[in-house]
A and B are shown apart, each in its own frame.
Chain A
Amino acid sequence: MSAIISIKNLSKTYEGGFQALKDINLDINKGEIIALLGPNGAGKTTLISSICGIVTPTEGSITIDGFDIEKDYREARAMIGLVPQELTIETFETVNNVLEFSRGLFGKKKDPAHIEKVLKSLSLWDKKDDRLMTLSGGMKRRVLIGKALAHEPEILFLDEPTAGVDVELRKEMWETIRELKESGVTVILTTHYIDEAEKMADRIGVINQGQIILVDEKKALIQKMGEKNLMLHLCEKLAEIPASLSNYNLQLNDDGMQLRYSYDVQQEDTGITGLLEGIEAANINYRDLETKQSSLEEIFVKLVQKQ
């Protein structure tokens, strides 16, 4: 897959001396959904703002489909739509007017049919003549998405798009993002919600303290970084783990009714057979067993804690 955004050695130090980005290198492929995960203050918004021209990088270069964001800013920016984190809209204007303004700002000629399509896809068509101040928070969030889509961008940045949005609306937005991807739009998503990244993204990038710790395919990341747990639900309470099982990475829960065995799925010998034989030999009876793959959230916490 070809890279539509190419970031090379990008650093950003703010006036006060705070280094928000440290030597970022990242290629974003055409047509993919990439989720950037990271704790508050990790540098996600600074990275997006640098690509979109809102923040001036201290070092490094960014190209959009081969266009340098500084030298060829017109071509580069024309391809981008940005949905910011904050609900920044002019409350006295109508929905239709703010979308038309955005389209004009990006140099596109009026196209009421496209605006209608965007508003309908965001369930805002019946609100087109309403002032933004009369809309709910979720609707305002959708207006921001509509503004970003008004000029038919090839790349869409969504900075925490579902922050403060109820579950139902979040699902609707996920659906919209999926449709955009199907239409060929490259989506870059920053989020706090790991499940959002897990459900939506093709690739995941983890940012912490201004550095990209890791970028990988979502499935590969879960496989590589994830460990699996085998849970044994015991028939009787166990006071302590028998010495004969001390070689295994076992944990007994507080009430003594569950044993947890963590293992690496990548290993050829996971040790499960030997463990189960050892448990039988130690006369420990269990009524049920289950295995659980670690979630993206657990991987994320582990990665950030490692730093």
Chain B
Amino acid sequence: MNYRAIEAIYKYEMARTWRTLAQSIVSPVLSTSLYFVVFGSAIGSRMSDIDGISYSAFLVPGLMMLSLLTQSVSNASFGIYFPRFIGTIFELLSAPVSTLEIVLGYVGAAASKSLIVGCIILLTASFFVDMQIMHPFLMLFFLLLTALTFSMLGFIIGIWADNFEKLQVVPLLIITPLTFLGGSFYSINMLPEFWQTVTLFNPVVYLISGFRWSFYEISDVDLWVSLGMTGLFLLICLVGIYWIFKTGYRLKN
């Protein structure tokens, strides 16, 4: 294993985060804080409790997930797309590094960044909302699993995209709607029965549901189903990445 290569990629990517602090960390924290102020404090105070939890507290896991998913995808997709776009990818392809090492470096850095953002959002939320985390280790586990899975998805998008528009298409037109409709702001039990069934085809439902369970022990679907679906999604992303490097898709001629 070329540990130094993993370290080099990881540090190089993290350096970009510190260099673009406003864009990488301040911006997602600010937008999530606005959600808390508007939906949590202003509107939320007039909403009734959901499963015995105040609406503003109910929002916290959903908003963390919203940020985690979009940040993981955009960080990882940009991380690998940028060297492809400017041509420095040649160095990666001609270096003595394996697929696993490249993925560990890029996905590790992207996941770290979104975890940092997630934790800052949690800290920010604690200033606005009175909340509790009943299963902190499970919460961290979900956080880590989701960050890794969606960073891998972002990595795949970064390889697939051949222009900046495509790079934005998936996060904006797929990830964000799925997250909004996946129970970030409401419990799917509040939907009519037909839409509840439709919603179950949205993979994000399982992530948010499981994550929310770790906070308040309330969920839309069973915890084990949530864990299973998250694991399955991780596996699909792993297979996708393996295939990309095996075939050289969009990387090698």
Q: Which B residues lie within 8 Å of A78 (CB)?
A: 96
Q: Which A residues lie within 8 Å of B95 (CB)?
A: 77, 105-106
Within 8 A of A (CB), among B131-184: none
B5 contacts A by Cβ under 8 Å: yes
B191 contacts A by Cβ under 8 Å: no
* Contact assessment for A88 and B96 in the assembled complex, using a CB-CB cutoff below 8 Å: no
Within 8 A of B (CB), among A237-264: none
Task: State the total of A-B contacts with C-beta under 8 angstroms.
Answer: 80
Partner of A88, one of B11, B16, B87, B252: B87
Partner of A53, one of B19, B86, B88, B94: B94
Which residue of chain A has the shortest Cβ distance to B86 in the bound complex?
A88
Minimal beta-carbon separation of B35 from chain A (angstroms): 31
Q: How far is the CA of A144 from the CA of B83 in the complex (A)?
A: 15
Q: Which B residues lie within 8 Å of A73 (CB)?
A: 96
Minimal beta-carbon separation of B20 from chain A (angstroms): 9
* Contact assessment for B88 and A88 in the assembled complex, using a CB-CB cutoff below 8 Å: yes
Q: Which B residues lie within 8 Å of A76 (CB)?
A: 96
* Contact assessment for A107 and B93 in the assembled complex, using a CB-CB cutoff below 8 Å: no
A142 contacts B by Cβ under 8 Å: no
Q: Which B residues lie within 8 Å of A103 (CB)?
A: 8
Which residue of chain B has the shortest Cβ distance to A76 in the bound complex?
B96
Interface magnitude class on chain B: 20 to 34
A105-B97, A106-B95 are known contacts. Are A56 and B253 too (CB-CB below 8 A)? yes
* Contact assessment for A90 and B88 in the assembled complex, using a CB-CB cutoff below 8 Å: yes
Q: Which B residues lie within 8 Å of A74 (CB)?
A: 2, 96
B225 contacts A by Cβ under 8 Å: no
A53-B94, A56-B253, A84-B90 are known contacts. Are A104 and B5 too (CB-CB below 8 A)? yes
Interface of B is mostly: helix
B176-218: CB near A (< 8 Å → 1, else 0) gives: 0000000000000000000000000000000000000000000
B15 contacts A by Cβ under 8 Å: yes
Q: How far is the CA of A86 from the CA of B83 in the complex (A)?
A: 13
Minimal beta-carbon separation of B84 from chain A (angstroms): 11
Which residue of chain B has the shortest Cβ distance to A81 in the bound complex?
B94
A218 contacts B by Cβ under 8 Å: no
B92 contacts A by Cβ under 8 Å: yes
* Contact assessment for A105 and B253 in the assembled complex, using a CB-CB cutoff below 8 Å: no
B9 contacts A by Cβ under 8 Å: yes
* Contact assessment for B15 and A109 in the assembled complex, using a CB-CB cutoff below 8 Å: no
Minimal beta-carbon separation of B139 from chain A (angstroms): 34
Which residue of chain B has the shortest Cβ distance to A100 in the bound complex?
B8
Q: Which A residues lie within 8 Å of B16 (CB)?
A: 92
Minimal beta-carbon separation of B92 from chain A (angstroms): 7
Minimal beta-carbon separation of B249 from chain A (angstroms): 12
Q: Which A residues lie within 8 Å of B8 (CB)?
A: 100-101, 103-105
A141 contacts B by Cβ under 8 Å: no
* Contact assessment for A104 and B96 in the assembled complex, using a CB-CB cutoff below 8 Å: no
* Contact assessment for A77 and B5 in the assembled complex, using a CB-CB cutoff below 8 Å: no
Q: How far is the CA of A202 from the CA of B96 in the complex (A)?
A: 29
A54 contacts B by Cβ under 8 Å: yes
Within 8 A of B (CB), among A81-97: 82, 84, 86, 88-93, 97
Q: Which B residues lie within 8 Å of A55 (CB)?
A: 252-253
* Contact assessment for B88 and A108 in the assembled complex, using a CB-CB cutoff below 8 Å: no
Minimal beta-carbon separation of A201 from chain B (angstroms): 23
B248 contacts A by Cβ under 8 Å: yes
Q: How far is the CA of A49 from the CA of B93 in the complex (A)?
A: 10
* Contact assessment for A92 and B92 in the assembled complex, using a CB-CB cutoff below 8 Å: no
A32-56: CB near B (< 8 Å → 1, else 0) gives: 0000000000000000010011111
B12 contacts A by Cβ under 8 Å: yes
Q: Which B residues lie within 8 Å of A84 (CB)?
A: 87, 90
* Contact assessment for B94 and A82 in the assembled complex, using a CB-CB cutoff below 8 Å: yes
A14 contacts B by Cβ under 8 Å: yes
Partner of B96, one of A89, A92, A93, A107: A107
Q: How far is the CA of A84 from the CA of B87 in the complex (A)?
A: 10
B3-40: CB near A (< 8 Å → 1, else 0) gives: 01101110110011001000000000000000000000
Minimal beta-carbon separation of B213 from chain A (angstroms): 41
A62 contacts B by Cβ under 8 Å: no
17 residue pairs of the A-B complex, CB under 8 angstroms, read: A14-B253, A54-B93, A54-B252, A74-B2, A77-B94, A77-B96, A80-B94, A89-B86, A90-B83, A92-B16, A101-B12, A105-B4, A105-B8, A105-B95, A106-B5, A107-B5, A109-B4
A residues touching B (Cβ–Cβ < 8 Å)?
14-15, 49, 52-56, 73-78, 80, 82, 84, 86, 88-93, 97, 100-109, 147
Beyond known contacts A77-B95, A88-B90, A102-B91: 6 more, CB 8 A cutoff: A53-B93, A56-B253, A86-B87, A88-B88, A105-B9, A106-B96
B residues touching A (Cβ–Cβ < 8 Å)?
2, 4-5, 7-9, 11-12, 15-16, 19, 82-83, 86-88, 90-97, 248, 252-253
Q: Which 9 A-B pairs have the closest CB atoms?
A: A104-B8, A88-B87, A74-B96, A52-B94, A77-B96, A105-B95, A107-B2, A78-B96, A54-B93
